[in-house]
Amino acid sequence: MAALMKNQVFSCFVFYGVLLVMKMYIIAIITGQVRLRKKAFANPEDTLRHGGLQYHRQDPYVERCRRAHINDIENILPFLFLGAIYSMTGPGLAVARLHFLIFFLARVLHSVAYLFALQAPTRSLAYIVAQIPCISMALQILMAVWQYA
């Protein structure tokens, strides 16, 4: 692990990757807090403890939080895979950092746009901008390994 961390690009990737995982935890915490505030629980044992309807799985804001979280899972997990492999292909630090930073900022904007229901197409644009470094990393990885196909 110590040897891996000497790879500056990998360390930079780890920094942004961990921040993004923490961002996902924050969305999970927000979802839980909204459930408590609105007494919109998915499970009867939670209702028994906190009150509310036995099942309330249709609260619009809880569902919004859940969609934001699912979209993070769809996008941040692939980033964690691509970023780790890309870091091993020997990119320059400045260019790699730009990839990670663009993805990070765009995903933060995506979450903010989702949770605050910002005017369209803010969320979609954030999604598209975040895809650009991912596609770039995927292509560079493929170019690095194509001879092994």
**Residues at the contact surface with ligand GSH, assessed by CB under 6 A:** 67, 71, 74, 123-124, 127
Q: Return the number of the residue (70 or 95) whose C-beta is nearest ligand GSH.
A: 70
HEC sequence for 71-94 = HHHHHHHHHHHHHHHHHCCCCCHH
| 121 secondary structure, DSSP code | T
Q: Residue 61: which region, alpha, beta or left (left: phi > 0; alpha: psi -120 to 50)? A: alpha
Q: Return the number of the residue (50 or 67) whose C-beta is nearest ligand GSH.
A: 67
Q: Return the number of the residue (5 or 116) whose C-beta is nearest ligand GSH.
A: 116
Least Å distance, CB 8 to ligand GSH, is 31
